[in-house]
Amino acid sequence: MKLTVWTYEGPPHVGAMRVATAMRGLHYVLHAPQGDTYADLLFTMIERRDHRPPVTYTTFEGRDLGADTAGIFRDTCRAAYERFVPQAMIVGASCTAELIQDDPGGLAETMGLPIPVIPLELPSYQRKENFGTDETFFQIVKALAKPMPRSAEVSVNLLGPLALGFRHRDDIEEIKHLLAQMGIAVNVVAPFGATPEDIARLGAAHANILMYPEHAEAAARHLERVCDQPYTKTVPIGVGATHDFVNELAQICGVEPKIDTTRLRQPWWSKSVDSTYLTGKRVFLFGDATHVQAAARIARDEMGFEVVGLGCYNREFARPIRALAKEFGLEALISDDYLAVEQAIEEAAPEMILGTQMERHIGKRLGIPCAVISAPVHVQDFPARYSPQMGWEGANVIFDTWIHPLVMGLEEHLLTMFREDFEFHDDAGASHHGGKAVAPTAPTPEVQERAQDTGSDVMVWLACAEKELKKIPFFVRGKAKRNTEKFAAERGMSEISVDTLYEAKAHYAR
Helices within 418-490 (DSSP H only):
445-449, 463-469, 474-490
For 456, residues 6+ apart whose C-beta sits below 8 A from its C-beta are 485
Can you tell me whether residue 222 is helix, strand or coil? Answer: helix
Look up 134 and say whether it is catalytic. Answer: no
Residues counted in the chain:
510
Can you tell me whether residue 265 is helix, strand or coil? Answer: coil
From CA 296, how far away is CA 310, in angstroms rounded? 8
Contact 254, 283 (CB under 8 A): no
Residue type, 422: F
From CA 186, how far away is CA 93, in angstroms rounded? 34
Catalytic residue among 274, 400, 421, 453: 274
From CA 482, how far away is CA 459, in angstroms rounded? 11
Taking only Cα atoms into account, the Rg of the chain, rounded to an integer number of angstroms, comes to: 27
Q: In terms of Cα–Cα distance, which of 216, 210, 215, 202 is closest to 232?
A: 210
From CA 430, how far away is CA 436, in angstroms rounded? 8
Q: How many CB atoms within 10 Å of residue 81?
A: 20
From CA 211, how far away is CA 490, in angstroms rounded? 53
From CA 329, how far away is CA 185, in angstroms rounded? 42
- The number of helices, as runs of H, and strands, as runs of E, in the chain is 19, 14
From CA 205, how far away is CA 135, in angstroms rounded? 22
Can you tell me whether residue 345 is helix, strand or coil? Answer: helix
Contact 175, 158 (CB under 8 A): yes
SS3 content of the chain, % helix, strand, coil (to 5): 50, 10, 40
**Straight-line distance from the first to the last Cα atom of the chain, in angstroms, rounded to the nearest whole number:** 46
Handedness of CA 186, 191, 195, 198 (dihedral sign): positive
Q: In terms of Cα–Cα distance, which of 494, 430, 489 is closest to 504?
A: 489
Burial of 256 (0-12, 13-18, 19+ CB in 10 A): exposed
From CA 299, how far away is CA 304, in angstroms rounded? 6
Handedness of CA 251, 288, 25, 111 (dihedral sign): positive
Q: What residues are labeled active site?
A: 274
